[in-house]
Amino acid sequence: PKPRDFTAAKYRLVSTWERVPTDDDLFLAISRGMPGSAMPSWGHLPEETRWALVHYVKSLAATPWAAAAAADPKAEGQTGTGVIRVPPAPPFTPEARKLALERFADACASCHGKTGKGDGTEAQKDDLGYPTSPRDLTTGVFKGSPDPAHLYRRIVAGLPGTPMPMSDWAYGADAWHLVNLIRSWSSDGQRERAEMRKFRIVARRVARVPDHPDSGTWRLAPPVNLHLMPLWWRSDRPEEITVRALHDGTQLAVLLVWADATSDHTAMRPQDFRDAVAVQFSPTLDPPFFAMGSRSEFVNIWMWKAERQADLEPAFQDLEKVYPNLGIDSYPNLKVAPFEQPTRHALTLDSDPTFVTGWGAGNIVSDPSRKSPAEDLYAQGFGTLRARPRAEQAVDARGVHATGTYRVVLRRDLIGNAALAVTLAPGFTMPVAFAVWNGSAGDRDGKKSVTIWQDLVLEP
């Protein structure tokens, strides 16, 4: 969805009868983020900073607001005032579940579907006229907190600006039965993986870092499961990436493991996109925005791409990889004229770089002599991503896809050999973030799944 217009003061996540947010609502949204959207968690910021953000965001509103004093509804059919006070939860008995299913079928199924998968028949648009989709309640992704009391208020107050209406009729036991039903459709693990969290990744010191993802040395590195979120949200998404790190005092190696049912390793046609993974480093302990840094603070990115791995195993790919019966003519760009025509060596070392324009211009993507499927990049804000010249490309990598899982190792010397390249050292802590691209889902460029900043700690 589009970012919120703070001047209009129209918010989705509210817990009052007047359908306006409390300061606690805003604080929770900032701290937790909004799973199901591109808004990340800012829970790693100091509490004082997050409260300052609450008051700053409120100051942007053209018309200030304040929640009324809390009071329960005085009679059936009436609403209360102020914060919706959640009554004690009744037992969720088989009879209560049956009643909840009946209430859900009557009031919720037209949008959320009979089984809560978000496949109802009713067309959805928000208050600005943009198409929107009801939540699939079986995935554990809730924009507001999945805590029972928060879900209770979400059902009663609805989500202003969306097709989800206020359900004041459910106040009391009905709302509790619906809360328990909805939570039963997802697991604690699903709900936990939907939220962005900050973790600590410890790079253990070893005699020599491995260069293959299947090396037994990786057993010495403690695994850390990081939560991923798509920047363009979709339900079919990678939920986690498992990270291990090792160093030997000279080099750092990072092992990345994530689920992907298909290996997309060709990018010849405009409709094809490759799988990829990247690690982003910030040289400052107070890192810039995790999406490509800022003008004043650069980020260094190590990126592995599946089709570049395929180029090395066994040879540089050409259109014949996709169209094996491609008809060809003679190529005039060979250094030595062949005795027979046609020939199929247009993009090999037998070619003259003058006629292979990308290679001739120094584009490392078009260079058939490159030895690594990795790329060393840097950025200083949106639209500034740059690849280093070939002479400064210092990252090596190796990737393997088997049984629906990628395992990729990225390696580089601890000391950066170029401008805007991070330098690490034993005993050092550095912010890192990760990104995954799924080619079969159309991921490319900024369409990817990412983590927030994590802490990478190199053992002394």
Q: How many residues does the chain have?
A: 460
Tokens of 359: 């290679």
The stretch 144-158 carries a mean pLDDT of 96
The stretch 72-99 carries a mean pLDDT of 91
363 and 274 in contact (C-beta within 8 Å)?
no
156 falls within a domain: yes
- Give residue 122's pLDDT: 85
**Judgement on whether residues 255 and 379 belong to the same structural domain of the protein:** yes
**Judgement on whether residues 150 and 208 belong to the same structural domain of the protein:** no
306 and 274 in contact (C-beta within 8 Å)?
yes
Domain ends where: 160, 193, 226?
193
Residue 41 sits in which domain range? 23-193
- Give residue 79's pLDDT: 86
211 and 371 in contact (C-beta within 8 Å)?
no
Please tell me which residue, 45 or 235, carries the higher pLDDT value: 45
Closest-CA residue to 293 (of 278, 277, 285, 282): 282
Rounded Cα gap, residues 17 and 137, in angstroms: 24
- Give residue 328's pLDDT: 61
Please tell me which residue, 342 or 79, carries the higher pLDDT value: 79
11 falls within a domain: no
**Judgement on whether residues 237 and 380 belong to the same structural domain of the protein:** yes
CA atoms within 13 A on the CB side of 436: 27
363 falls within a domain: no
171 falls within a domain: yes
The stretch 431-448 carries a mean pLDDT of 95
**Judgement on whether residues 115 and 232 belong to the same structural domain of the protein:** no
**Judgement on whether residues 234 and 147 belong to the same structural domain of the protein:** no
Number of domains present in the structure of the chain? 2
**Judgement on whether residues 170 and 211 belong to the same structural domain of the protein:** no
- Give residue 336's pLDDT: 56
**Judgement on whether residues 172 and 76 belong to the same structural domain of the protein:** yes
Per-residue pLDDT for 201 more than 60? yes
Per-residue pLDDT for 355 more than 80? no
CA 167 to chain centre: 33
Per-residue pLDDT for 303 more than 90? yes
Domain ends where: 193, 225, 256?
193
pLDDT in tens, 7-43: 999 999 999 999 999 999 999 999 999 998 888 999 9
How far apart, in Å, are the Cα atoms of 381 and each of 115, 212, 302?
43, 33, 16
- Per the prediction, the chain carries an average pLDDT of 91
- Give residue 346's pLDDT: 46
- Give residue 157's pLDDT: 96
164 falls within a domain: yes
Q: Which residue type sits at 82? A: G
**Judgement on whether residues 49 and 102 belong to the same structural domain of the protein:** yes
The stretch 177-194 carries a mean pLDDT of 96
Domain ends where: 169, 193, 217?
193
Gyration radius from the chain CA atoms:
27
8 and 19 in contact (C-beta within 8 Å)?
no
Rounded Cα gap, residues 448 and 433, in angstroms: 13
344 falls within a domain: no
Lowest mean pLDDT among 115-119, 124-128, 445-449: 124-128
**Judgement on whether residues 144 and 204 belong to the same structural domain of the protein:** no
Per-residue pLDDT for 111 more than 90? yes
- Give residue 240's pLDDT: 96
- Give residue 344's pLDDT: 45
The stretch 284-313 carries a mean pLDDT of 92
**Judgement on whether residues 188 and 207 belong to the same structural domain of the protein:** no
CATH code of the domain covering residue 260? 2.60.40.1190
Lowest mean pLDDT among 171-185, 212-226, 281-295: 281-295
Rounded Cα gap, residues 236 and 301, in angstroms: 26
135 falls within a domain: yes
* Matching residue, tokens 């973030």: 433
**Judgement on whether residues 181 and 210 belong to the same structural domain of the protein:** no
CATH code of the domain covering residue 183? 1.10.760
353 falls within a domain: no
- Give residue 1's pLDDT: 66
Per-residue pLDDT for 368 more than 90? no
The stretch 217-232 carries a mean pLDDT of 95
Per-residue pLDDT for 103 more than 60? yes
Report residue 350's pLDDT band, with 50, 70 and 90 as the boundaries: low
The stretch 370-384 carries a mean pLDDT of 93
Report residue 222's pLDDT band, with 50, 70 and 90 as the boundaries: very high
**Judgement on whether residues 148 and 205 belong to the same structural domain of the protein:** no
Q: What is the three-state SS of the chain?
A: CCCCCCCCCCCCCCCECCCCCCHHHHHHHHHHCCCCCCCCCCCCCCHHHHHHHHHHHHHCCCCCCCCCCCECCCCCCCCCECECCCCCCCCCCHHHHHHHHHHHHHHCHHHHCCCCCCCCCCCCECCCCCECCCCCCCCCCCCCCCCHHHHHHHHHHCCCCCCCCCCHHHCCHHHHHHHHHHHHCCCHHHHHHCCCCCCEEEEEECCCCCCCCCCHHHHHCCCEEEECEECCCCCCCCCEEEEEEEECCCEEEEEEEEECCCCCCCCCCCCCCCCEEEEEECCCCCCCCCCCCCCCCCEEEEEEEHHHHHHHCCCCCCHHHCCCCCCCCCCCCECCCCCCCCCCCCCCCCECCCCCHHHHCCCHHHCCCCCCCEEEEEECCCCCCEECCHHHCCCEEEEEEECCEEEEEEEEECCCCCCCCCCCCCCCEEEEEEEEECHHHCCECCECEECCCEEEEECC
The stretch 101-120 carries a mean pLDDT of 95
- Give residue 345's pLDDT: 46
159 and 12 in contact (C-beta within 8 Å)?
yes
CA 206 to chain centre: 31
